[in-house]
Amino acid sequence: MDQIARILRAIWHPSHEKLLLGEGGDPEKIRQANLIVGFTSVGGLFSISFAIYYLLIGHHAGALAILCNSLVFLTLPWICLRKGNLHAAALSFVASLIAMFTWLSIIEGGAEGHAVAWLATMPFCTQLLVHKHRQALWMGASIVILVAGLSAMEVLQIELPMLYPEEEHGWVTLVGYTGLATFMCALGYIVEYYRRKVMAERDVAEAELKNVVDELTRLNLEKNEFLGIAAHDLSNPLSVVYGYAELLRDVEEVNEKDMKDYIQEIAENSNRMRNIVQDILDVNTIESGRYPLNMENVNIRQLFESCLLNYRDAARKKVLKITTELEDFEAVTDAGALGQILDNLISNAMKYAKPGGEVRVSLFRSGPGIRFEVFNEGRGFSEEDKTKLFARFAKLSTRPTAGEGSVGLGLSITHKIVQALDGEIACESKLNQGALFRVDLPGKSLCSVKS
């Protein structure tokens, strides 16, 4: 059976789909086109075989009928398909077969010959190939009436001529019915092949659709979670800013010291809100693939020292000791991206460091690249926390030590930027033993800076 399947597939395997109906065609039309091509190919094979047999036994009229009609159903459907007229292709194929079997039935003794049985199978082909159901039904009904009329001639004892040698009648009948059974098996195989193919394609499409739906559901949940977190984290600094603004508006006299304190609180909370909004914008930029990189020669130590200056006041408020070990060298990298990575890691370290603890920043060359580490003396992270450190909106068991807000985007953004720079980031941490973040970045044209 497998050998037969391979032979049939070699004859009518659909290597012509794009040629017939173009790329991106309607799958149902492609399936019908393949059925037409399959039926015509198998029909042509059987027709040629029967024409040769008829010539060998001297049945020239039968051979002529087969060859004439075969020429029609082997050419017209292909021409129609090439022009994109699927309906005309199906009609021309079915009509030529009906004409051929009617012709053979008339010259082979009507119901006594095997051609009537072949004609009786035509409603099956019609229903499969003619996609306009009303026309298919009318053609099928006409074939039934035609078969009934040929059979009625036998009842009415109206004899039709038999134009092949009488002694060959048994062999013609044997070959005809055997060929019919084989032909129907071949057509059934073709139909089943395309049915399974369509089902497989449908299953793939359903799986892809399910994946899309699942992804959209996940993104919608992330969006809702993010909006909830962002709204919560923005509401606190907004309340503080609003409270101090009301206080400044309602109090007639405010001494200079209180005024500076109020302004400082407003500035800090405004900056906190700005950072939250910036995280949102950064996520949108990175996720859209529009994160720009500007590679240039950068003094890495100076970049680190400049970034660390921004955290002096925050460290003083939390009584944190910031220690550094910075090697002095230059490298070709993106200063803005590297600065944002360092900002996020130092900010994260200060959030999770215990008051009075230490934050340590180290920078040195590692082979041809850049390596820097940011360590904090805090509670550290559990093994479960470490598996989701770089996920968006990650909820960690370890919380900031002074109640600082966290949207859950900082480390995710950092991870994405490190990847954009073709680098790697890792975290080494155990509970109650602090956390160390290590970043390795490729560096180009590294050189030490002379004193």
User: What is the per-residue pLDDT for 221?
Assistant: 79
Long-range contacts of 239-246, Cβ-Cβ distance < 8 Å, separation of 24 or more: 240/265, 240/266, 240/269, 241/266, 241/269, 241/270, 241/273
For residues 179-186, give the mean pLDDT.
88
For CA atoms 285, 290, 293, 294, the dihedral sign is negative
User: What is the per-residue pLDDT for 363?
Assistant: 92
Q: Which residue has the higher pLDDT, 301 or 5?
A: 301
* Whole-number percent of the chain with pLDDT over 70: 82
Beta strand residue intervals within 126-230, DSSP E: none
Give percent helix, percent strand, percent coil of the chain, each to the nearest 5.
65, 15, 20
The string of pLDDT tens digits covering residues 234-257 is: 676 777 777 777 777 766 666 777
User: What is the per-residue pLDDT for 15?
Assistant: 42
Residue 372 has pLDDT above 60, yes or no: yes
CA geometry: angle at 405 spanning 351 and 441, to 5°? Answer: 50
Residue 159 has pLDDT above 70, yes or no: yes
DSSP three-state, residue 428: strand
- Separation of alpha carbons 437 and 348, rounded Å: 10
Residue ranges of domains in the chain: 2-209, 214-287, 295-448
The string of pLDDT tens digits covering residues 58-102 is: 999 999 998 998 888 888 887 887 777 888 888 888 888 888 999
User: What number of residues does the chain have?
Assistant: 451
The string of pLDDT tens digits covering residues 196-214 is: 887 888 888 899 999 999 9
Going by pLDDT thresholds of 50, 70 and 90, the confidence category of residue 19 is very low
| Eight-state DSSP code of residue 311 | T
Residue 386 has pLDDT above 60, yes or no: yes
Residue 141 has pLDDT above 70, yes or no: yes
Q: Which among 142, 13, 22, 37 has a CA at the least distance from the CA of 92?
A: 37
Residue 29 identity: K
The string of pLDDT tens digits covering residues 412-439 is: 888 888 888 889 999 998 888 888 999 9
User: What is the per-residue pLDDT for 283?
Assistant: 66
**Highest mean predicted confidence (pLDDT) among 114-118, 277-281, 291-295, 402-406:** 114-118
Q: Which residue has the higher pLDDT, 236 or 110?
A: 110
Give domain 295-448's CATH architecture: 2-Layer Sandwich (3.30)
* pTM recorded for the entire structure: 0.51
Fold of 214-287: Helix Hairpins (1.10.287)
Burial degree of 122 (CB within 10 A; 0-12, 13-18, 19+): buried
Q: Do residues 276 and 233 touch, judged by C-beta distance below 8 A?
A: yes
The Cβ of residue 439 has, within 10 Å, a number of other Cβ atoms equal to: 24
Order of strands across the sheet that contains 444-448: 295-299, 329-334, 444-448
Q: Which among 143, 146, 148 has a CA at the least distance from the CA of 122?
A: 143
Burial degree of 403 (CB within 10 A; 0-12, 13-18, 19+): exposed
- Separation of alpha carbons 27 and 194, rounded Å: 11
